[in-house]
Amino acid sequence: MVDYYARIDDEETNPGFVLLTKKPYYSSYEKAVREIVTLENTKKILGSYNAYYRGYKNCRGLIGATASIAWSSENDNTYELIAYRKEQKWGSKRFVDNDSTKKMDKQCHSTFDNYDYKHKHNRIIPNSPCPVLFGIRGTDEEELINAKSLIISEEIDCWLIFETNQGTDEHLQKTTINKIQPYQSVIVDGRVVKVPFTVEGGHVFFTIKDSSGEIDCAAYEPTKNFRKIIRELNLGDKVEVYGGVRKDPLTINLEKINIKYLEKQVEKVENPICPKCDKHMKSKGINQGYRCNKCGTKSDKPIFKEIKRNINTGLYEVPVCARRHLSKPIKRIG
């Protein structure tokens, strides 16, 4: 079947299949979803379980195939109903009606990541020229079948419901900054020590720190409005960031952020007033404090005003159009 159907000519296609009579340890899935697994290591596992398997081209498909058998839904799981296209339609433009997708999204509360209203992006339609017509993700199998019936589209050839780890955050591990490795996906606490700035292309960067070290965080341009929240962060704010770690330079690519505490931000509004003369003191120069011209009283405390913050504490996520498959939507957390 793989020989017949796989698009071996596609550069990105490296399939593999694995048949096992016994599940490998759950930890082999955990390592694959959170860190880096080598093909060598996967082949060792397959050998020790007497697996029947075959890999094609660079054979990396074996890694995912093995990890998915090792997965179990014991911690969390979701479902995806996948509807397939008629074979003669493969590769051509898909017809899936947006209005019916929005209607389904509003009616079927256990589904998620269907439609990005702000960016008008229908997320149930794949980007690749694969045989999938659409995929609806949710937590209730029964409701997925109802959701499918609400979608107006070209003819569906057949459909299937998969049990999945999508929308579970199982790729993330809680850690400290000094332990972060490239390509991991992490949850880490810190205080903002470098204020957010925007670079050409619209990507926003800032730096957080915990007792073990410092790391840069990024909200890239495709995360759209999420960047508005990020730009409001300021020195001293306490956050918990969620995201994948890019290697060079070491940066957390934000998927979610929990803003736990907003530091009071103040600005100087005027020079201090002399308690004796009731007049404003004069500045003696940068960081030199203030002095009353009349009586000579000194002070180093100007009058401050608290700046109103434009964000609130709480959990924020990237929009549906920028969401990674594994990211747990706030809808599922709340």
When the beta carbons of 142 and 300 are compared against Zn ion, the nearer one is: 300
3-state secondary structure of 191: strand
Least distance from Zn ion to the Cβ atom of residue 211, Å? 45
Q: Is the peptide bond before 249 cis (omega within 30 degrees of 0)?
A: yes
Least distance from Zn ion to the Cβ atom of residue 259, Å? 44
When the beta carbons of 243 and 272 are compared against Zn ion, the nearer one is: 272
When the beta carbons of 44 and 294 are compared against Zn ion, the nearer one is: 294
When the beta carbons of 262 and 292 are compared against Zn ion, the nearer one is: 292
3-state secondary structure of 7: coil
CA angle 236, 237, 241 (to 5 degrees): 125
3-state secondary structure of 118: coil
Residue 276's contacts (CB-CB under 8 Å, 6 or more residues apart) are 292, 295, 297
194 in Cβ contact with 204 (< 8 Å): no
Cβ neighbours of 198 (radius 10 Å): 14
When the beta carbons of 148 and 291 are compared against Zn ion, the nearer one is: 291
When the beta carbons of 281 and 318 are compared against Zn ion, the nearer one is: 281
Largest CA distance in the chain: 95
Contact residues: Zn ion, CB under 5 A: 274, 276-277, 292, 294-295, 297
Cβ neighbours of 128 (radius 10 Å): 10
Spatial separation of the C-alpha atoms in residues 273 and 280, rounded to whole Å: 4
Least distance from Zn ion to the Cβ atom of residue 291, Å? 9
When the beta carbons of 234 and 299 are compared against Zn ion, the nearer one is: 299
Least distance from Zn ion to the Cβ atom of residue 251, Å? 52
Tokens of 7: 């698009």
DSSP 271-325: PPBPTTT-SB-EE-STTS-EE-TTT--EE---EEEEPPPS--SEEEE--GGG--T
